[in-house]
Structure 1
Amino acid sequence: MADGPEAPETLESLQARHRKEQRDLVSRITQKKRQASKKTRKGVNDECERLEQELNERQARELSIFNGENPDEEPALGQEEDAADAEEGQANGVAEAVENLTIDTGQSQGHTPEQNAPKKKKNRAKERLARRAAEHDALVAQAMVEAANMPDLREQERTRMAQHFGKYGVEVKEIRADGHCLYAAVADQMETQGLGLKPRIQVKTQEAKLPDYKWVRCAAADLIESNPDDFAGFMEEPLEVYLQKIRETGEWGGHMELMALARSYGVRINVLHSDGRVDKIEPGDNVKGEDDKEIWLGYYRHSHGLGEHYNSLRKVS
């Protein structure tokens, strides 16, 4: 027998889910900011603000749909306050009526102006804002406690990575986390080992003075462009668009670009992971073993707040 239709979400379950989503986001944001360095802090803060805005907009939209409203229609002036006031109207109305009651004892002539003055009306909008601020602060405090109890993945990864350096006779050269890290790390390896930045193939750029990482970007793009069938299966967009991103933007590089660079420079690229695994990317059968040239990179997943990162691993002299 087929299962019956799923029960519709109630207001209570919707609000409970929204609170959980807010707690999860605060915890995620707190963890990101703890892992951010001075160089990545601005980017992390911008990303966190975007995530918070997106969650708030989506939850507001879901609540509007639940209430039978059109989320794309602008509310009339004062409509939002009126809806919130209606929720408190009955309880506050009874309370105010009780507070405003006076008992005629026959001595009303002796009442002072302060006693006869009407009660000051409460500012419900301010009360709502205060409650929301208190709830938000409570969520932040809870998320900070949870984050404090979470393992420091960044420090753990760096510690584990350093434990493998001695085995391979390397030491880390920190590379700036700016989207060019893979190419800058390869450039550092090629230069410090005296291999030079000129690839085995002819780079098509006409610019004489380029940053080192830019030469490496062009070398990767030219190799892929010259051998499109070898790389088309890895792409999710047209070749021309992908090559433009490699040459002219700060788009991150990955395994495909390392494959292209190994072939372009005729070197073996060794990528060390924190668990001790080493990915060996060969230059290809036609140049494999040529002068037995190789370079070393370190791959990090947690050490930088914006995501994956590559450092150069220089040979210890």
Structure 2
Amino acid sequence: MDDENVSDGSIEEETILERHRREKKELLAEITKIRHSSKSDKKKKKESQEQIARLENELKERHEREIEEDKTNQSELGDDQAIEPQESAEVTKLKKKMAKAQKRRDNKAAKNRERDAALKQQEIDNLTGKRHLEIQKIKQLLAKKKLKIFEIPSDGNCLYNAVSHQMQNEHNAKLTNNSLRRQTADYMKSNEDNFIPFLTRQDTGDCYTHEEYEKYCEDIANTSAWAGHLEIQAISSILNCRIEIVQSEGSPIILGEEYTDNFTLVLPYHRHIYGLGEHYNSVEPISGSDEVDQS
């Protein structure tokens, strides 16, 4: 009788694990479709990454919950078999309660060990990963200019907020993300011939039509669409200034060379700081109390 019950529990456990493996494969296929469908749209790409993270977390939490419930059921079955016929109902109930409490303590201890191991691994990755190395290199380059990184949130508005921060902080100019987006869109609309040749459709490689270009500019003004080289060029012309892009690899990129006699905005460009893609930060002067980390 005991051998038969143990065998049944083992079969149930294998069935759950096999189903979990199948569901992970199905989720991987779904993620591939989502990434493929958003490859050409930066805004949709960000939304897709958030959707993927949500699907992965939901599947992981459900799998952990099902495994835990299965273990608890097996534990309760074992407790029932161990109870002697002469035991009272109260003793039986107490034993079950004690077993469940110990199970919870064991599970909590196991999760704490996993968390501690993950934190230790993260500390190692932080010191050797691309993100850390990139940040340290940019810090060193900025230190030569007596500057340090001022962090900007990663929300699709990073370029505009970085420019707005420097204009307000260094030049006392009241410039917001929304106003800078609108000015950039208006400038690019008014100078369509200077920008449209550099925009092509991802699926066909064809140049943008006038209607597509108008939609592109409207997205700049009204959404959190990520900004790149063309938008920076437009901002340089709007503000009549040079913009220097500092990156960890290669020489700095300078736009607005014709404004050499005017001020310069410095924007750190990160490829690896966030999982969703490229990011721009701002800068501020190093004060006398700042210690620049060169490690």
Q: Give the TM-score taking structure 1 as reference length.
A: 0.50
Number of the residue aligned with 2:42: none
State the Cα distance separating 1:271 from its structure 2 match.
0.5
Structure 1 stretches lacking a partner, 5+ long: 1-8, 20-46, 67-79, 103-114, 198-209
Q: Is 2:80 the counterpart of 1:93?
A: yes
SS of the residue corresponding to residue 253 of structure 2 reads: strand
C-alpha distance in structure 2 between counterparts of 1:221 and 1:275, whole Å: 30
Number of the residue aligned with 2:159: 182
CA contact (8 A) 1:296 1:314 kept: no
State how 1:280-295 maps to structure 2 within 5 Å: 280-281=254-255, 283=256, 289=258, 293=262, 294-295=264-265
SS of the residue corresponding to residue 229 of structure 1 reads: helix
Is the alpha carbon distance of 1:170 and 1:219 closer, same or farther for their aligned partners in structure 2, counting shifts above 3 Å?
farther
C-alpha distance in structure 1 between counterparts of 2:201 and 2:168, whole Å: 29
Which residue of 111, 116, 119 maps to 2:91?
A: 119
State the Cα distance separating 1:140 from its structure 2 match.
1.0
Choose between structure 1 and 2: higher helix proportion: 2
Which residue of 132, 142, 151 maps to 2:117?
A: 142
Q: Which of these two proteins has the greater Rg computed from alpha carbons? A: 1
State how 1:1-317 maps to structure 2 within 5 Å: 11-12=16-17, 51=53, 54-59=55-60, 87-88=74-75, 90-96=77-83, 100-101=84-85, 119-121=91-93, 122-123=96-97, 129-152=104-127, 156-165=133-142, 169-172=145-148, 174=150, 176-177=152-153, 179=155, 180-187=157-164, 211-226=175-190, 227=192, 229-230=196-197, 232-233=199-200, 242-265=216-239, 267-275=241-249, 277-281=251-255, 283=256, 289=258, 293=262, 294-301=264-271, 308-312=279-283
After superposition, give the CA deviation of every residue in 1:215-248 in whole Å (9 maximum; x if it has no partner): 4322221233342634542789965665455334
SS of the residue corresponding to residue 91 of structure 2 reads: coil
State the Cα distance separating 1:163 from its structure 2 match.
2.6
Matched letter for residue 56 of structure 2: L
CA contact (8 A) 2:243 2:265 kept: yes
Is the alpha carbon distance of 1:62 and 1:225 closer, same or farther for their aligned partners in structure 2, counting shifts above 3 Å?
farther
State the Cα distance separating 1:211 from its structure 2 match.
3.3
CA contact (8 A) 1:271 1:280 kept: yes
SS of the residue corresponding to residue 120 of structure 1 reads: helix
- Give the % identical residues: 22
State the Cα distance separating 1:272 from its structure 2 match.
0.8
CA contact (8 A) 1:296 1:313 kept: no
SS of the residue corresponding to residue 211 of structure 1 reads: coil
C-alpha distance in structure 1 between counterparts of 2:91 and 2:271, whole Å: 61
C-alpha distance in structure 2 between counterparts of 1:290 and 1:116, whole Å: 91
Structure 2 stretches lacking a partner, 5+ long: 1-13, 25-48, 288-295
SS of the residue corresponding to residue 137 of structure 2 reads: helix
C-alpha distance in structure 2 between counterparts of 1:166 and 1:60, whole Å: 44
After superposition, give the CA deviation of every residue in 1:30-74 in whole Å (9 maximum; x if it has no partner): xxxxxxxxxxxxxxxxx99x95x643522466799x9xxxxxxxx
Q: Give the TM-score taking structure 2 as reference length.
A: 0.53
Matched letter for residue 280 of structure 2: H
CA contact (8 A) 1:298 1:313 kept: no
After superposition, give the CA deviation of every residue in 1:102-150 in whole Å (9 maximum; x if it has no partner): 6xxxxxxxxxxxx877623214765655554343223212211212333
State the Cα distance separating 1:310 from its structure 2 match.
1.9
